[in-house]
Amino acid sequence: AVVTGSNRGIGFEIVKQIAGHGVTVILASRNPSAGIEAAKSLQELGLSVVFRQLDVLDTSSIQHFAEWIKQNYGGIDILVSHSTQFTCDLYDSVVLRQFVVCQVNNAGVNFNLGSENSAEFAHLVVNTNYYGTKNVIEVMIPLMRPSPLGARIVNVSSRLGRVNRLGDVALREQLSDIGTLSEEIIDRTLSTFLRQVEDGSWASSGWPQVFTDYALSKLGVNCYTRLMAKVLSDRPEGEKIYVNCFCPGWVKTAMTGWAGNITPEEAADTGVWLSLLSDGMPTGKFFAERREINF
């Protein structure tokens, strides 16, 4: 399995719990020293965890990471993707139960809490949380190995990114229509938001007013999850790739200033469950506490 941004927090717990099921996990971290220490602590518990440096903001880093995976493992089974610089988990599993292939994307970052915002922070949050996740997925999909149970991509997201939090009714309807949803529409929505942050008009344009940058970046992740599930749905049996996202909740991590109400161990549970689920595998869905919720 591959887990992005997983040297601490939710990502670290996802690595630990998946490895606890006998899966070899690649613990990916932007910071080499932090990643090495995190992997070492899990290796000392007897878990099969390997560190590899990955910066989801750097396309060459993503490409080098993929090449390393191909050379050393041939492919991956699970990708857990939460492209956050604070808690980003990417793991690659050589053997996941019998034939499960999964990627968990767990990387994310946030700066603004209320009405204040800046173009610098907005671009960093959207580029990390949305484009980082998307770029990792695009590069890793060709490496996801055929499996009778299907490969898995799990994106760590947030309820803050729900479409119904948008004030623009027409935009809500456009992003909710899976029949016409496209990558162009998602990217255009985020580009419009970023331009309005730059010119100062974002606050009166119907965007969420709390954790605004983070909410928009996770809106992108949620929409992209649904879109990729649709794009990958016509793959033949034995080559299926299931794509889902989940909200870990308000977690006691560095990102929340340790103000959350659930532990990283509890927060990781749904992501691990989606990574290892063997019966009735869903795709294109949004989960919290192992239950499907609305986008």
Q: What is the DSSP string of the chain?
A: -EESS-SSHHHHHHHHHHHTTT--EEEEESSHHHHHHHHHHHHTTT--EEEEE--TT-HHHHHHHHHHHHHHHSSBSEEEEEE-SSS--EE--S--TTT-EEEEEEE------SS---HHHHHHHHIIIIIIHHHHHHHHGGGBPP-TT-EEEEEE--GGG-GGG-S-HHHHHHHH-TTT--HHHHHHHHHHHHHHHHHT-GGGTT--SSSHHHHHHHHHHHHHHHHHHHHHTTPPTTS-EEEEEE---SBSSGGGTT--SB-HHHHHHHHHHHHH--SS---S-EEETTEEE--
**Which entry of 73, 91, 130, 214 is annotated as an active-site residue?**
214
Asked if pLDDT for residue 22 goes beyond 50, the answer is yes
Residues 53-106 pLDDT 10s: 999 999 999 999 999 999 999 999 999 986 654 333 322 332 233 333 455 554
pLDDT at 84: 56
Instruction: Answer whether residue 255 shows pLDDT above 70.
Output: no
Q: What is the pLDDT of residue 262?
A: 87
Judge whether 214 counts as a catalytic residue: yes
What pLDDT, on a 0 to 100 scale, did the predictor assign at position 91?
27
More confident of the two residues 94 and 209: 209
Please tell me the predicted confidence (pLDDT) of residue 87. 33
pTM: 0.88
pLDDT digits (tens, 9 = 90+) for 173-208: 999 999 999 999 999 999 999 999 999 999 999 999
